[in-house]
Structure 1
Amino acid sequence: MTAKIRYGVVGTGMMGVEHLRNIALLPDAEVVAVVDPVATSLGWARDALGAKADAVATFNDVETFAQEASVDAIVVASPNHTHRAVLEPLFGMDAAILCEKPLATTVADARWIVDRAAAHPRPFWTGMEYRFMPPAAAFIEQVHAGRVGALRMLSIREHRFPFLPKVGDWNRFARNTGGTMVEKCCHFFDLMRLIVQSEAVRVYCSGAMDVNHVEERYDGARPDIIDNSFTTVDFANGVRAMLDLSMFADGAEHQEEMTATGDAARLDVLIPPGELVFSPRVGFGQAKRVERTRVAIDPVALAAGSHEGATFFQHRAFAAAVRGDGVVHVTALDGLRAVQIGAAAEISAREHRVVEIAEVADQR
């Protein structure tokens, strides 16, 4: 490998540009190629690359990139429904791959990617930035260290802004995204698995599109993506997890909140401001003994993206895996498992019933 890891970025929309900005912060990395069929997106990439843009090769299609580019690592940030088609030629390259979440929009496509990734000689990484938010990482570390005792309940809340406009408005339709419970919530289902350290067995989701996009039409078609939901997930080890999602709560003080409750204590994390709140059990009528700490985030990493600095820390870990100095933290199989839970939640919301993971697990 060269002194610097040579990156290609496929898909230079909003998330692709965030990757470009964070790769630029790595001392041992350089972007040498970008790929996007849309001229506007390539313009955004040039703006993000700044003075280095003229030295970066530009491709309009991934097939030509796969034949001509010389890279050590590839970031796939193309629209969700394109991931399988985009990855097919990339698996023929001698390069590590980071594929943005969700791994695919269907369980069948995600399983195909898992099979191909297993045969790929270089590292394959599913992009799950939320694992790498410093406050979330500190929360997970403390739960795994036993600070709450035996974990019994996990609650995650995201109250945020609506889906942002994307090129071609592809994210307004479940056929392109897998549905909100796959597209957006795969992050949280991945966090659930990571924190609980078990696999999901059943899902119940109550959700609908009640506020956002209801007046929008695209070629006469009305968007069909969930904008609020409650989802309960039962895990094989007996832990229950719950996701509370609202995508019309952009005025909320905390965009994300997570609460782990065990037999000894409760631990909360509030994002932002990155505050950890530890509340041990004290017995009825006894004085509370709440402890509050705040997790600092590097301001440079924070400014380079919209994920509380997580994209930088993920890239730092991915670069270590590319060089052979670190492990793959988020595998293709992790990506598949998150898609399975999301797909089950979408079925549950539409059909108003509990869905066993076994029902979706073997789709091909």
Structure 2
Amino acid sequence: MSVQRVAVLGAGSWGTAFAKVIADSGPEVVLWARRDSVAESVNGAGINEDYLPGTKLPANLSATTDVDKALDGAQAVVLAVPSQTLRANLVGWRDSLPEGATLVSLAKGVELGTLKRMSEVIREVAGVPEDQVAVVSGPNLAKEIAAEQPTATVIACTDHDRAVELQQACSNGYFRPYTITDVIGCELGGACKNVIALACGMAAGLGFGDNTMASIITRGLAETARLGAALGADPLTFAGLAGLGDLVATCASPLSRNRTFGHRLGLGESLAQAQEAAHGQVAEGVKSCSSIRELAQRHGVDMPLTDGVHMVCHDGMHPRTLGAALIGREPKAERQ
């Protein structure tokens, strides 16, 4: 069965960009926005002026602030809210979710407190089986995708046929989705890369160059893969779009919120100053570094970069001190 109508709950930059991707692929899309001004801009001018100014949205994409209206008849529901607010939002939406609809997570993080991945939060709150939840991950810089620059991504779902349905619903001339059944690996890659991007941003702010960046990316991928192995992920996932692909884009691009946030910290700004400069845009890694660190500790996994990012963001460590601590760690074999 092909997907004909999709609800996207969350009208930030990535939610809007992904809504455009689906609409450009054929299905009717209704975008739920929290604020009237955003919905009015989308419906009146065909633009989300607040989050994707200048990007013309397709005619088969409309917006509303009425979540029941957005969800009515939807065969797929895309959850496009920050990871740490997903649970609270979903509690308010769950009674309106269409029965049997595929629930699709765009959020990349690990929940504080529970240490659950986003698909686990969705299953718990919505009361749906594992094979009804899908995850989208990969190099997903919203502005580039909205500008229709060619990109690939991954749709992960334990139900392969459901993943293929979603794949067909968001395939077009500039967006190429692949399918995978490794939801765990896909989610861990998406969550951990935000933390590693913070570290890359800090290094850039300190004036370090490409050797440093490549080292952080590579060692960050190694610790992500170690955590994935402990949680049952397929190691090959981390060599793909949801692992290396997403990591490179997020660590290298000035469009990355996490890299930009880390860069400000590296320049000497405080956490509060960096947050103020972000103008409400969420750098997921600032909070996820703490939950990922705790998850790693629970499973006995060594994640020194994640530990360090947490200490900079929440314990007052200076990024330069972190750099010295990492380079001065006890020598060991690369694959340990």
State whether TM-score is above 0.5: no
Tell me the TM-score normalised to structure 1 length.
Answer: 0.38
Q: Which has the higher strand share?
A: 1
The higher relative CO (CA closer than 8 Å, separation ≥ 6) is in: 1
Q: Which has the higher helix share?
A: 2
- Give the number of the structure whose alpha-carbon radius of gyration is greater: 1
